[in-house]
Amino acid sequence: MKSFGAKVVLDGVDLDIPRGDSTVIIGGSGSGKSVLLKHMVGLIAPDAGRVMVDGTELSTLDNRELTRFRSRFGMAFQEGALFDSMTVAQNIEFPLVRLDIGSAAERRERVQECLQMVRLEGAEAKLPSQLSGGMRRRVGFARAIAHRPDVLLFDEPTTGLDPVTKDVIDELIVELKERLGATIVTITHDMESVFRIGDWIGMLYEGKIISWGSPSDFRGTTDPRVGAFLGRKTVAPHASVPSAARTDTA
Ligand SMILES: Nc1ncnc2c1ncn2[C@@H]1O[C@H](COP(=O)(O)OP(=O)(O)OP(=O)(O)O)[C@@H](O)[C@H]1O
Ligand SMILES: [Mg+2]
């Protein structure tokens, strides 16, 4: 449960994120998706209820423990701004420096690798102000994965990108999961992305996860709230969406 003033945003969310899979959270604008994602990494604490990661309740961690815990995460948040005074390379290198990962040469190499992954080779010396919005997003994405975290949280990573770049990011998400075994949670409004990257899809509605299942469960859903979100007028009469899988949260 989480309220801001009188506004209840999350109200009895019950969700287990399967380890090593790619989970997608969908829901209307203002439904609390970003707030939910921030709970997962302890940036927002619930008013009631618990957030458990690997059997540890986040509210029991002190600041130092929380910092160590967060180093396992890579995040690219919706509003996640780059450091304007730093070059692209310095932005991507930032988590490596902060976490004291690698020598200067190793870090440079890692930055190159990340730039390649997001198809931004050659942009290392640019300042964020010299990039397009889509390019800045990709730099944010590169920064999120630079320290090779085992949990990745992406808040609308493809919003506002052209279709080709969107494909690049979607493919990258699948690759991160398959190659690195990362647990990934992505918020997206893009239905193509949802079905391309999601092993599991959860829908947030009026503060609750009202629907959880595989992409095929979702395609066959009879829930009109989900159907409406998928932009469908009629829904299949069969198939239901199972309740949340009971897997250890990662
Ligand atoms: N720090 C905050 N203080 C006060 N209200 C907040 C705060 N963060 C979020 N809210 C409110 O919580 C609600 C849910 O916000 P959230 O950003 O999670 O929505 P969302 O589902 O991510 O929407 P969108 O798809 O537009 O990004 C909104 O009404 C928002 O105004
Ligand atoms: Mg949001």
Task: Answer yes or no: pTM beyond 0.85.
Answer: yes
Domain span at residue 9? Answer: 1-72+150-250
The β-bridge partners of 203 are 26, 211
Confidence band, pLDDT 50/70/90 cuts, at residue 246: very low
Q: Which of 114, 148, 182 is the last residue of a domain?
A: 148
Q: Which ligand is nearest to the CA of 27?
A: 1
Q: In this structure, are 96 and 201 located in the same domain?
A: no
- pLDDT at 45 exceeding the cut of 50: yes
Q: In this structure, are 30 and 88 located in the same domain?
A: no
- pLDDT at 248 exceeding the cut of 50: no
Q: In this structure, are 141 and 168 located in the same domain?
A: no
Distance CA 54, CA 169 (A): 28
Q: Which of 34, 79, 190 to mutate to test the pocket of ligand 1 (most atoms within 8 A of CB)?
A: 34
Tokens in use for 118?
């997001």
Q: What is the CATH number of the domain that holds 163?
A: 3.40.50.300
Distance CA 208, CA 213 (A): 15
Q: Which ligand is nearest to the CA of 206?
A: 1
Q: In this structure, are 63 and 178 located in the same domain?
A: yes
Which residue's C-alpha comes closest to atom 29 of ligand 1? 30
Q: In this structure, are 244 and 194 located in the same domain?
A: yes
Please, are residues 89 and 111 in contact by the beta-carbon 8 Å criterion?
yes
Which DSSP string corresponds to 157-220? TTTT--HHHHHHHHHHHHHHHHHH--EEEEE-S-HHHHHHH-SEEEEEETTEEEEEE-HHHHHT
Cβ of 4 closer than 6 Å to ligand 1, yes or no, is: yes
- pLDDT at 238 exceeding the cut of 70: no
| Segment 84-113, tens digit of pLDDT | 999 999 999 999 999 999 999 999 999 999
Span 122-142, average pLDDT: 92
Please, are residues 210 and 226 in contact by the beta-carbon 8 Å criterion?
yes
Span 171-189, average pLDDT: 91
Give me the residue label for tokens 């469960």: 217
- pLDDT at 241 exceeding the cut of 80: no
Please, are residues 185 and 17 in contact by the beta-carbon 8 Å criterion?
yes
Cβ of 34 closer than 6 Å to ligand 1, yes or no, is: yes
- Identify the pLDDT of residue 148: 92
Q: In this structure, are 57 and 20 located in the same domain?
A: yes
Cβ of 35 closer than 6 Å to ligand 1, yes or no, is: yes
Of residues 150 and 230, more confidently modeled? 150
Of residues 78 and 62, more confidently modeled? 62
Confidence band, pLDDT 50/70/90 cuts, at residue 234: very low
Mean pLDDT over the full length of the chain: 89
Longest CA pairwise span in the chain (Å):
59
Q: In this structure, are 154 and 144 located in the same domain?
A: no
- Identify the pLDDT of residue 232: 65
Q: Which ligand is nearest to the CA of 29?
A: 1
- pLDDT at 78 exceeding the cut of 80: no
To the nearest 5 percent, what fractions of the chain are helix, strand and coil?
A: 40, 20, 45
Q: In this structure, are 66 and 181 located in the same domain?
A: yes
- Spacing, Cα 186 to ligand 1 middle (Å): 16
Closest CA relative to residue 187, chosen from 42, 78, 80, 39: 78
The total domain count for the chain is 2
Tell me how crowded residue 150 is: count the other CB atoms within 10 A of its CB: 15
Q: Which of 8, 9, 210 to mutate to test the pocket of ligand 1 (most atoms within 8 A of CB)?
A: 9
Q: Which atom of ligand 1 sits closest to the CA of residue 78?
A: 27
Confidence band, pLDDT 50/70/90 cuts, at residue 79: low
Q: Quickly list H helices, the chain.
A: 33-40, 63-70, 88-98, 104-117, 133-145, 163-180, 191-197, 215-219, 224-229
Q: Which of 148, 167, 190 is the last residue of a domain?
A: 148
Of residues 180 and 115, more confidently modeled? 115
Instruction: Give percent of the chain with pLDDT exceeding 90.
Output: 70
| Segment 157-172, tens digit of pLDDT | 888 888 988 898 899 8
Closest CA relative to residue 162, chosen from 132, 123, 198: 132
Q: In this structure, are 50 and 109 located in the same domain?
A: no
Please, are residues 242 and 214 in contact by the beta-carbon 8 Å criterion?
no
Q: In this structure, are 67 and 173 located in the same domain?
A: yes
Tokens in use for 204?
């947030």
- Spacing, Cα 28 to ligand 2 middle (Å): 9
Of residues 67 and 93, more confidently modeled? 93
Q: Which of 116, 148, 180 is the last residue of a domain?
A: 148
Please, are residues 9 and 35 in contact by the beta-carbon 8 Å criterion?
yes
Q: In this structure, are 46 and 167 located in the same domain?
A: yes
Distance CA 249, CA 53 (A): 5
Cβ of 10 closer than 6 Å to ligand 1, yes or no, is: no
Q: In this structure, are 157 and 230 located in the same domain?
A: yes
